[in-house]
Amino acid sequence: MKKHALLVTCYLLLVTFASAQWGWGANDAVEEVGNGALNYSNGWVTATGIGAISPLAQNPGMARATAVRAAKIDALRNLLEAVMAVTVTSETTVRGSAIENDVIKTKVEGMIKGARMLDLDGDGKVDYSSDIRYLSDTSIEIEMGVHMSGISSIVLPPTGYSQAPPDLSSEAATVETTPKPGTITGIILDARGLGVRPAMSPRIIDQNGDVVYGSGNFTREYAIKFGVAGYSKNLDAAKEDPRVTGNPLIVKGIGIQGSNKTNLVIANSDAFKIKNADNRDQFLRNCKVMILLD
């Protein structure tokens, strides 16, 4: 019993350390890739880079500048690998899209070159004295990142979206409002226990294989700006997410679909409930969808 408790404690400490290192929340849907991380909850892809301080530098300032430059090069290389691993749809990753299309490959590589160094100390600005980790071997470590909105603008298919644009100027999907009694403010799809993986453009499918929620519900511009769906590992946190907060409809998934295991299958009866509620309250066009993962 004591051994089990010790293992649990060690695991919690490891999760806490990793979360602190990458800056994600305990309920975020995150996949680690080598020296990078894909956070499908806050939309950031981040990677670390390490640079050695040269003993040949003429002064400390030059030594640090050289190490920072080397760390940036290393971080950008790792960030590219992480971005290539991002899951786009049930059948596609960024890497697959880049292999099939040289234009996409060039645009992704160009976006990575514009990645920014991350604010590690949380003071709201990037400072080369406080946002660098000094390692025990005298080398330094930095983090760099890009947002998935930039990735989706490059790799999301150009057609197949809704032609009735929602009001982007109001940013309705991210602002909490007071709904009328009985108004459904979004849906929370409970996919825990099914092995569903996060993606930039997941779909909801009924038992007949018909799409309940997909690109036909929203515009491409809306998907890029707000994301197709949000992800969380905690039901209470999902209920409070601005994407669906108020009176979300909670639906339990029954299966997964697609080689990347990103599409969620729901019962036909639940699909009927969602369609009826959406016909009345129009929440799917604003991507008011949260998905619960393990």
Summarize pLDDT for 153-179 with one digit per residue, the tens: 999 988 889 976 555 444 444 444 455
Q: How far apart are CA 47 and CA 65, in angstroms?
A: 19
Q: Residue 198 in contact with residue 290, Cβ under 8 Å?
A: no
Regarding whether 274 and 248 lie in a shared domain, the answer is yes
Query: How confident is the model over 64-88, as a mean pLDDT?
Result: 93
Domain termination site, one of 90, 122, 155: 155
**Number of residues assigned to the chain:** 294
pLDDT for res 26: 86
**pLDDT over 50 at 20, yes or no:** no
Regarding whether 143 and 40 lie in a shared domain, the answer is yes
What range defines the domain where residue 184 resides?
A: 168-292
Strand order in the sheet with 263-266: 211-213, 204-205, 263-266, 249-257, 187-190, 289-292, 230-232
Regarding whether 146 and 59 lie in a shared domain, the answer is yes
Q: Please report whether residue 19 resides in a domain.
A: no
pTM confidence score: 0.82
Q: Please report whether residue 241 resides in a domain.
A: yes
Q: In the structure, what pLDDT confidence band is assigned to residue 220 with cuts at 50, 70 and 90?
A: very high
